[in-house]
């Protein structure tokens, strides 16, 4: 909706008001009951069938319009113009229509690699969605899943990462050649991302930034990846000194009182945690995630807890 109202709130049903874009395209004209949706001609092709006013609000001086199914090309400065009033009035409003932003999520982490999913929701035009590495090379991906709701598109695209790299989900609106992207850094612990421990023992899950930069004022989150019969588990969260052991809420019940970090090691980039009194049910894939780094970084590790090991 682009707002335009007379401060006097007087009735404008019998008046003329004209909406134009900054390139002087005719967006909407209302003239004493006649307008672009009931017989008046001259509307720019770009806006035909997409622009409407509020007839019941005219008596209150409201000349606002609504543009449906906005496109990136609709971006610009618009004027609402009352040319026939004794004191000519012009209102200005800037509209910014952005391309849909992709959303990246980690779906699974196994010995075969890390499954990443990119979602694009509510695209007005069907975009091209690709996974790319930092050099712009296209990464192998599954066939995209595309659904339509009205005139909007929802696209899901998955890829499996098998080595440490920075990759992006790139969304391209080919009609306008506009691009948006989201980036993620995947760090796979090599060569063996698996930690094995006997139950009832304590275990350290390692996670360290390669730059060894200070973590004391950063945010990192440890999660247990969703298994077949359970959901995602919140294991440990540290945020600039606040964490699950000193007031932060949200830790999964099964990890309460059993997980701690290494406070003195934070200044060396060490975000490792220790899980005490391990249980068989603790077995699974874990992620150590730094969401505020540019790009965000995620580390993966597989924990196996057994009754005994020789």
Distance from C-alpha of 209 to C-alpha of 47, rounded to nearest angstrom: 51
8 Å CB contact between 167 and 131: yes
Distance from C-alpha of 299 to C-alpha of 310, rounded to nearest angstrom: 28
pLDDT at 102 over 60: yes
Mean pLDDT check: name the lowest of 14-18, 76-80, 173-177, 187-191: 187-191
| Buried-exposed string 117-131: b where 16+ CB fall within 10 A, e elsewhere | bbbbeebbbebebbb
pLDDT digits (tens, 9 = 90+) for 188-243: 765 457 899 999 999 999 998 877 888 889 999 999 988 766 788 999 999 999 99
Please report the pLDDT score of residue 230 as a whole number. Answer: 75
Provide the pLDDT confidence category of residue 93 given band limits of 50, 70 and 90: very high
Question: Percentage of the chain surpassing pLDDT 70?
Answer: 95
Mean pLDDT check: name the lowest of 72-76, 215-219, 273-277: 72-76
pLDDT at 244 over 60: yes
Q: How far is CA 51 from the centre of its chain?
A: 28
Place of tokens 């606002």: 64
Q: Is 245 left (phi over 0), alpha (psi -120 to 50) or beta?
A: alpha
Distance from C-alpha of 203 to C-alpha of 221, rounded to nearest angstrom: 18
Choose between 47 and 187: higher pLDDT: 47
Choose between 241 and 98: higher pLDDT: 241
How many helices and strands in the chain, by DSSP H and E? 0, 23
The pairing of strands 16-21 and 76-82 is: antiparallel
Please report the pLDDT score of residue 211 as a whole number. Answer: 77
Mean pLDDT check: name the lowest of 179-183, 197-201, 300-304: 179-183
Closest residue by Cα to residue 286 from 194, 152, 172: 194
pLDDT at 98 over 80: no
259 by Cβ neighbours in 10 Å (0-12 / 13-18 / 19+) ranks as buried
Choose between 63 and 166: higher pLDDT: 63
Cβ neighbours of 164 (radius 10 Å): 16
pLDDT digits (tens, 9 = 90+) for 127-167: 889 999 988 899 999 999 999 887 778 899 999 998 888 89
Distance from C-alpha of 85 to C-alpha of 66, rounded to nearest angstrom: 23
Please report the pLDDT score of residue 190 as a whole number. Answer: 56
Please report the pLDDT score of residue 43 as a whole number. Answer: 93
Please report the pLDDT score of residue 176 as a whole number. Answer: 67
**All domains of the chain in start order, with CATH:** 16-95 (2.60.40.10), 103-187 (2.60.40.10), 193-306 (2.60.40.10)
DSSP classification of residue 236: E
């Amino acid at each position: 909706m682009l707002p335009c109202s007379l401060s006097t709130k007087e009735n404008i049903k019998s008046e003329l008001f004209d909406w134009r874009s900054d390139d002087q395209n005719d967006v909407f004209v209302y003239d004493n009951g006649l307008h672009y949706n009931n017989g008046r001609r001259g509307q720019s092709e770009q806006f035909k069938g997409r622009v409407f006013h509020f007839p019941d609000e005219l008596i209150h001086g409201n000349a606002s319009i609504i543009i449906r199914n906005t496109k990136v090309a609709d971006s610009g400065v618009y004027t609402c113009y009352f040319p026939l009033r004794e004191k000519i009035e012009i209102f200005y409003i800037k509209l910014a229509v952005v391309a849909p932003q992709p959303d990246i999520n980690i779906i699974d982490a196994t010995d075969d690699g890390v499954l990443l999913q990119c979602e694009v929701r509510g695209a007005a035009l069907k975009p091209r969605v690709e996974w790319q590495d930092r050099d712009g090379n296209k990464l192998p991906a599954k066939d995209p899943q595309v659904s339509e709701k009205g005139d909007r598109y929802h696209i899901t695209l998955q890829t499996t990462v098998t080595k440490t790299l920075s990759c992006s989900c790139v969304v391209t609106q080919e009609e306008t050649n506009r691009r948006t992207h989201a980036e993620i850094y995947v760090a796979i612990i090599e060569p063996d991302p698996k930690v094995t421990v006997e139950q009832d023992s304590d275990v350290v899950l390692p996670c360290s930034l390669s730059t060894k930069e200070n973590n004391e004022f950063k945010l990192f989150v440890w999660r247990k990846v969703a298994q077949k019969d359970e959901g995602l588990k919140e294991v440990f969260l540290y945020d600039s000194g606040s964490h699950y052991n000193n007031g932060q809420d949200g830790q999964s019940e099964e990890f309460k009182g059993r997980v701690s970090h290494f406070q003195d090691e934070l200044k060396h980039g060490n975000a490792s945690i220790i899980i005490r009194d391990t249980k068989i049910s603790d077995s699974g894939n874990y992620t150590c995630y730094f969401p505020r780094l540019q790009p965000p970084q995620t580390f993966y590790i597989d924990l196996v807890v057994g009754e005994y090991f020789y």
